[in-house]
Every structure is written in structure tokens, then in C-alpha cells.
Amino acid sequence: MKKVDIKIIAHRGSANKTPENTKASFVQAKEDGANGVEFDVHLTKDEEAVVIHDPKIDRVSNGKGFIKDYTLKELKKIDFGSYYGKKFKGEKILTLSEALQITKDFSLINIEIKKGYNINQGIEKKVIEAVKKYDLEEKTIISSYNHESLVITKNINSNLKIAPLFFAKPYQVVQYLKNLNTQYIHPYYLMVNQELVDELHKNDIKLNVYTVDNLKDIKLMAHYGVDGIITNQTKKALNLLK
């Protein structure tokens, strides 16, 4: 392996043991020894930033419908834990502020902005305000598949680190990243090879790969020398790197 200081980043918290993106998942990630944590943010009907992956609540709660159609007060009445197991009954959706209070001691916090043409307009300002409120600018990375959202983020606060998410390798990747004014990239692990890692590192660009759960793949990413591994298998990944 080329380096031993690879960060293991818990995907949606320790989502293989607990309901994802909840207090339970972030507490478990701490117990598992994760270096960092990754979670997703949407806006409610009353424009509160909440931590959830999907635009709808159906998969991870006992409710139905789009987040954008609920107020925070309404969402707080819904159970976001029992879908995973009886012992998690009563888990509530977290606001971004609540999530940051729980995760502030991690060495890296990766907030993924979810933004589409008709949802989460103006979300960047809400995320930036919360990060600044808890003085977490230094350890936070804002990622998104919506690269325009990352430009908006950087324009509002140039001190924040941004990381575009990629499912496939972009054309002239280094130039693209320089145009975005970023030193980070979060690529899907299957698009990563040694040539890409070397090219990025030569240009002082760090890469945190997602979502790597197979131990063989984790070992391969470590061999390439990536900077961080976003995974649902936090404990196994840490044990492997030891």
C-alpha cells in the first residue's frame, strides 16, 4: 500500500448496523472508529435543512411523500428508525444543525447536497450557515452531483472545501476540477485506477472514493493510495488497513 493515512468515512453513518443518517448511525460510526462521516441534506417545506438521502421519506420511515411537502414539525412526528428494527423505534429525522452537533468531533464531515431542478433551491446558504455556526469549515467537505451547486457554495464562502461527485470519469478531469476551483473529487470507486490517482495527486487533488464495501475493493483502493474511502463497512475497512 502506498499510504497508511487513508481516512475511513462512514457512509450515512454506520448504516449497515443502524438506520441511516440518524443519531444512532452517527453514534455507531464513532464507536466503530470511523475517521469521518458522510450524510445527505434536503430542504423541508419551511426550508429547514434535514439529513436524509432520498427526496421521499417512504424507504426510511413509516410515512410517505416528498420531504419538500412536509414542514420540519410534521417530519419530527414520523418514525425514522423502526423500518430498520424494533430497537430503533422512535428515531427522529435530524436537522443539519442537530447532525453537526453529533458529528463535530469527527476529523472529516462530508455533507452531500441534494439539489434538482424543482427541489432544494437555496440549500447552499442553509448548509453554509450551519457549518459556520459550529465553526466546522476546516473539517467539512461539501459534495454534490450538482456541480453548479458547488460553484454557488464556493462563491458564497470561498473557504469551504467542495468535492464534485462523479459516476464516470469526466473528460480532461484535472482541467475540469481546476475550473471548479477545487482540490477534491469524490469518484465512484469503479472508475478509479492507478493512473487516475497518480494524475490527481500530481496536481495536488485528493480523492475520496465511494461506496466501497467489498474487502477486496477496499484493499485495491488502499493499494492505489486514495485519500479516503466512503464505506458501509467501517469496522472491517479499519481492521483491514491496520
Left, alpha or beta for 102 (phi > 0: left; psi -120 to 50: alpha)? alpha
Q: Is 201 a residue of the active site?
A: no
Q: Is 42 a residue of the active site?
A: no
Residue position matching grid coordinates 500500500: 1
Cα gap 208→197, rounded to integer Å: 10
Specify the length of the chain in residues.
242
Which entry of 42, 53, 147, 201 is annotated as an active-site residue? 53
- Alpha-helix runs per DSSP H in 76-214: 96-103, 123-133, 147-156, 173-180, 194-202
Which entry of 11, 42, 147, 186 is annotated as an active-site residue? 11
Q: What are phi and psi of 17, to 5 degrees?
A: -120, -15
Q: What are the residue numbers of the active site? A: 11, 53
